[in-house]
Amino acid sequence: MGGCIGTAREGSGSSRTSSGEGSTSLRGGPSIGKNVPLRHEKIRWKSDMPLTEGQVRSKRDEFWDTAPAFEGRREIWDALKAAALAVENTEYELAQAIIDGANIMLPNGEGSVEGEEVVLKVRLSTTSKDVKLTVRSTDTIATAKKKLDIQEDLNGWRQRWYYSGKLLGDRLHVCECNIVPNYVVQCIITEDNITAVDS
């Protein structure tokens, strides 16, 4: 759910402002930014493995049941679940009313988790094995590298990514790299701390 933010109710010690000051995130920290109305877009999803509608609903129910256990306030998750159901039924006004009624701030509208989900095939130079890495199309290469670092436990070693013979700069977004599905991104891994040799 990414950038979904719940603001404090009146009389709770902090008030809601147009800049978002005094509001809190699902994790309880402060937030910055303005609320953006929900976008009236059809929700799209894709999966590497075929799923029946029943399986998709089961996974969705599992998400809503377990999400509050990891972080955030239960009432915010309940409101988000109700709003998501309303959006699924194209009842955008109801969804917006639920979001507004719960004082939840969506800095980017419905696209609070921006970009499409993309699965990259990354070949590690240390093992020559290909790994699948799930990122967002709007992630920067630097963000994708951090995700790979965590997923593959690379211990912060330096990564240089190449695709189609070109070095991918850290500031590039995944969507700007024009990576064809199932094509390999080469990841050259070296030790991060290169020490100078005294002469």
What mean pLDDT do residues 137-142 have?
A: 88
Structure tokens at 141: 């290469």
Report if residue 103 sits inside a domain: yes
Q: Are residues 98 and 14 in the same domain?
A: yes
d(CA 190, CA 160): 8
pTM metric for this prediction: 0.43
d(CA 186, CA 184): 6
Domain C-terminal end among 75, 91, 111:
111
pLDDT at residue 16 greater than cutoff 50: no
Task: For residue range 70-99, list pLDDT tens digits in order.
Answer: 677 888 888 888 988 888 888 888 888 888
Q: Are residues 165 and 147 in the same domain?
A: yes
State how many domains the chain has. Answer: 2
Q: Are residues 57 and 153 in the same domain?
A: no
What mean pLDDT do residues 18-35 have?
A: 42
pLDDT at residue 184 greater than cutoff 70: yes
Q: Are residues 16 and 104 in the same domain?
A: yes
Question: Does 153 or 18 have the greater pLDDT score?
Answer: 153
Which residue, 96, 100, 70, 84, is CA-closest to 7?
100
Report if residue 198 sits inside a domain: no
- What's the mean per-residue pLDDT of the chain? 74
Q: Are residues 36 and 81 in the same domain?
A: yes
Residues 6+ apart with CB under 8 A from 124: 130, 131, 152, 187, 189
pLDDT of residue 186: 95
Report if residue 196 sits inside a domain: no
- Helix (H, G, I), strand (E, B), or coil: what is residue 160? strand
pLDDT at residue 30 greater than cutoff 50: no
DSSP character at residue 177 = G
Concatenating the DSSP letter of every residue in 35-55 gives --PPP--------SS---HHH
Q: Where residue 124 sits, what CATH number does that domain have?
A: 3.10.20.90
Domain C-terminal end among 111, 145, 177:
111
Q: Are residues 107 and 127 in the same domain?
A: no
Q: Are residues 96 and 161 in the same domain?
A: no
Report if residue 199 sits inside a domain: no
Which residue, 29, 6, 26, is CA-closest to 70?
26
Task: For residue range 110-136, list pLDDT tens digits in order.
Answer: 444 456 888 999 999 988 889 999 998
The domain of 107 spans 5-111
Q: Are residues 81 and 130 in the same domain?
A: no
Q: Are residues 26 and 79 in the same domain?
A: yes
Provide Rg for the chain, Cα atoms: 21
Q: Are residues 34 and 101 in the same domain?
A: yes
Domain C-terminal end among 111, 142, 159:
111
pLDDT of residue 160: 95
pLDDT of residue 88: 80
Q: Are residues 13 and 83 in the same domain?
A: yes
Residues 6+ apart with CB under 8 A from 67: 1, 77
Q: Are residues 130 and 183 in the same domain?
A: yes
pLDDT of residue 147: 92
Task: For residue range 140-176, list pLDDT tens digits in order.
Answer: 999 999 999 999 988 878 999 999 999 999 999 898 8
